[in-house]
Structure 1
Amino acid sequence: MEITNFNIYKKKWKVLSETIIKPGLESIQLALDKLGNPQDKHRIIHVAGTNGKGSTIAFLSAIAREHGITYGSFTSPCIIDVHDQIQLNGQHVTSEQMDRAFQKMQQAGLSGMLTDFELLTVTAFLVFEDVAVDVLFLEAGMGGRFDSTNVMKKSIAVIPSISIDHTNFLGETIEEISWHKAGVLKENGKLVIGLLVEEARNVFITEANEKSTSVIEFERDFIVENNTYTYGNIQFEQLHPRMIGEHQMSNMALSITALVECGFSLEESKTQLAVGQASLSGRMENIRGNIYCDGAHNQASIDALVETIKKYFPNKRIHFIIGILKDKDYVSMLRRLEEVGSSFEFVEFHHERALSAKELYKHCLHEVKVVTKDIDKVNIGKNLNIDITIITGSLYFISEIRSKTGK
């Protein structure tokens, strides 16, 4: 799957890359060596895991911004196009900054060496190298151990959650998936983890022991109770995240802890303001009126979405607009959504791994359901008689919906 508008720069600077997923670090490490290893010139907080990565980086960014901490962030996938994946102090990378990075990659002879995501990762490090920022926030693309973001010598690793996802690349068990994610731990580094199931936690603790990594755990070393965060002598009260869902309290706490462990001094009033402002496109994002986007795309994130709906929208009628990738456990996802849904609209979209809307329709047990074959025909505001409309199933689907509707 091509990264939207990335080809503009590849063609302009004649730097070729493959539009495939190819786990492994040899190629990107060789490329970074040619560029003087820009990835090792900053403090880095590296966020991996299954769900909660984007929200955690949104909290990190908001808290840093409110404290005057300068930062760069690299996230995936894009929401609109490639420019929103690389940000400096919350601002999208500019075409001029992209051009400077590509000029360096062209001169270093990187054409044909990398996959698209590897090339984009290198681009991000080059953009950050040009700016004197205090810290980088990196989101692992998939897995961790062999993910192209896992190329720095030192970092603080943050793992919000572990669940089953990307089984064709990472394995089918929690232990196999955790082994991939635990690869982001660094020798004599630090690991900040959320509440993990025991099978996952054991894998991380084993890896941490092997690498002499310090482990800081949510609800063991730091806690949030009654909207109060406590970690050692640090206590911040009246923390009310703008992003809704119980899991966001954990993501918020992980972010505060990671910044503290990174050596930053945080203030209660500024942290209160920051968490109340932190938001993320496509995570229970209210785009207008009664319409929300949520990028839930696997069983764990769908579970969190359903619990959020039950808590925040009890007794409301819920209309779902859904697009899902075919390598997901879409039947289990549908069963959970049917618990709270009043009507379902399944949409054909253009991702190469998109599941057909007809297949979703066939497996949905709810009686009120339709298929929309052309994503351009989706009218997200047509169900005004429904209390809440939620667009969900895939971040790629949400991105395409937004590009069509301008929302």
Structure 2
Amino acid sequence: MEIKNFNKYKLKWNIESETVIKPGLETIQAALQKLGNPQDKHKVIHVAGTNGKGSTIAFLSALAKEHGLSYASFTSPSIFDVHDQIQINSIPVTEKQMDEAFLHMQKRGISGMLTDFELLTVTAFVVFEAMELDIVFIEAGMGGRLDSTNVMKKSVAVIPSISIDHTNFLGDTIEKISWHKAGILKYNSQLVIGSFIEPAKTVVYKEVEDKKANVLEYSENFHINNHQYTYKEYSFSHLNPQMIGKHQQSNMALAITALLISGFKLVESNVQTAVKKARLPGRMEKIRDNLYLDGAHNQASIDALVKTIKENFFNKNIHFIVGILKDKDYVYILRKLEEIASSFEFVNFQHERALNANILYKHCTHSEKSVTLDAFDVDLLNDFENGVTIVTGSFYFIAAFKEKTGI
């Protein structure tokens, strides 16, 4: 899977890596060892989970910014290109910083050791090592235990949610997937979790016990009631996140808790401002009053999207513009969206795993449906009466859609 604009650095600095996914940590740990283990320089909050990772890091970043902290983040996938995956104080990494990191990696001889995502992960740590930072936020790419981000000696672990996804790599049951997610927990450390269904909770709590760690659970150890956060002696009122959806209350609470147990003092007025300002491209991202982008692409995120639409756009006509990857459960996605849709427009987009729009058209049972052969040809000016347009199906589709339409 190509990471946009990453190859130009590989070519420029003659560093080779494989375009495959290879779960496991031995090779990336060997590469990091050659580089002096840059991943261990800073305090880290490590976020894994099926959904909510990006939103939680958006809240973490906004909270850090409002409290005057110097911070950095590594997230995936990209929205535009590789630079927005590595950010310093919410500003994408520059070409100069990337060049400096690649020069350092070239000198240490790691060419040919890693996959693309492993190399990108190492790049992020090398960029961060060159800076004095109060905190670093790392998003797991896939799973957790064997994901290339799981290389720090110490970190505060955060898991917003666990559900079925990436079954070809992580397993086909909640228990197997939970084992992977829980693997980011370090010995004698702290874990912050959302509200899990019972099989997931059992697996995660066993990991906590095995690693002699401490767990804080949303609605058990810390709470949000009537827009007020409470945890032990901490209390912050009038919290009104602008990101749409009730699940964002939980993500917000996880972020606040993770920063508190990381040793940072939070001020109520700054917390109030931060949660209002927190934004995340491609997650119910408001483009204008009747147009939203959401990268929902699995069962849990589609369920959350449908619930959010029902809660916020009651009695509105909902037009879906959809592009999906072929390894996703597109039939499930279609059935859920059909529950609330007024019409569908299925779109082809450039990606090696993109599903042909005609297949979506064929499997859709809704009477109002059409196919657009290229994202560039989508007519966003065709606003229908009392309507809301939702662009969804994949973050890669969202990125292609933004690039093509210029929104």
Q: TM-score, normalised by structure 1?
A: 0.99
Give the SS at the match of 1:157.
Answer: strand
Amino acid corresponding to residue 35 of structure 2 in structure 1: L
1:179-229 deviations in whole A, cap 9, x for unaligned?
A: 111110100011000001110011000011000110011010000000000
1:288 shift after superposition: 2.6
Q: AA paired with 2:161?
A: S
Alignment of 1:4-403 (within 5 A): 4-385=4-385, 387-403=387-403
Q: Indicate if the aligned counterparts of 1:319 and 1:386 stay in contact, CA closer than 8 A.
A: no
Instruction: Name the SS for the 1:325 alignment partner.
Output: coil
User: 1:387 is matched by which residue type in structure 2?
Assistant: G
Deviation string 1:118-144 (CA, Å, 9 cap, x unpaired) is: 000000001100110000000000000
1:386 offset after TM fit, Å? 5.6
Three-state SS of the structure 1 residue aligned to 2:238 is coil
Task: Find the residue that maps to 1:292 and give its secondary structure.
Answer: strand
SS of alignment partner, residue 238 of structure 1: coil
**Equivalent residues of 1:47, 1:140 under 8 A apart:** yes
Question: Which runs of no fewer than 5 residues in structure 2 stay unpaired?
Answer: none
CA distance in 1, matches of 2:333, 2:284: 17
Q: Can you list the C-alpha shifts for 1:265-317, whole angstroms capped at 9, x where unaligned?
A: 00111000000000000000011341100011101111111111111110000
| 8 A Cα contact 2:375 2:405, kept in partner | no
Give the superposition deviation at 1:332: 1.2
Distance in 1 (alpha carbons) for counterparts of 2:159 and 2:382: 39
Distance (Å, rounded) in 2 between the aligned partners of 1:303 and 1:248: 14
Equivalent residue letter for 1:191: L
Aligned to 1:184, the other structure's residue is in SS state: coil
Cα deviation per residue 1:57-89 (whole Å; 9 max; x = unaligned)?
000000000001110100000000000000000
Q: What amino acid is the match of 1:345?
A: E
CA contact (8 A) 2:48 2:144 kept: yes
Q: Contact 1:306 / 1:340 at 8 angstroms: preserved in 2?
A: yes
Q: What secondary structure, in the 3-state scheme, does the structure 1 residue paired with 2:128 have?
A: helix
Distance 1:379 1:191 in 2: 45
1:369 partner amino acid: K
Q: Does 1:2 align with 2:2?
A: yes
- Residue 345 of structure 1 contacts residue 369 of structure 1 at CA under 8 Å; is this kept in 2? yes
Displacement of 1:363 in angstroms is: 1.1
**Kept after mapping to 2: 8 A contact 1:291/1:381:** no
Give the Cα–Cα distance (whole angstroms) in 2 for the partners of residues 86 and 302 of structure 1. 27
CA distance in structure 1 between the aligned counterparts of 2:323 and 2:289, rounded to whole angstroms: 21
The amino acid of 1:339's aligned partner reads E
Residues of 2 paired with 1:118 and 1:381: CA distance? 41
Contact 1:326 1:353 in 2 (8 A): yes
The residue matched to 1:136 in structure 2 has which SS?
A: strand
Distance 2:170 2:353 in 1: 17
CA separation in 1, counterparts of 2:381 and 2:298? 26
Deviation, structure 1 residue 384 = 4.2
Is the 8 Å Cα contact of residues 59 and 274 (structure 2) preserved in structure 1?
Answer: yes
SS in 2 for 1:249: helix
1:31-71 deviation digits (Å, cap 9, x = unpaired): 00000000001100000000000000000000000001110
Between 113-122 and 349-358, report the one with greater CA deviation.
349-358
2:72–2:128: 8 Å Cα contact kept in structure 1? yes
Measure, in 2, the Cα distance between the counterparts of 1:406 and 1:55: 23
TM-score w.r.t. the length of structure 2 is 0.99
Q: Distance in 2 between matches of 1:381 and 1:84?
A: 28
CA distance in 2, matches of 1:378, 1:10: 34
> Distance in 2 between the 1:353 and 1:368 partners?
26
Identity %: 65
- Partner letter of residue 145 of structure 2? R
What is the SS of the residue equivalent to 1:118?
helix
What is the aligned-residue RMSD (CA, Å)?
0.9
Amino acid aligned to 2:258? A
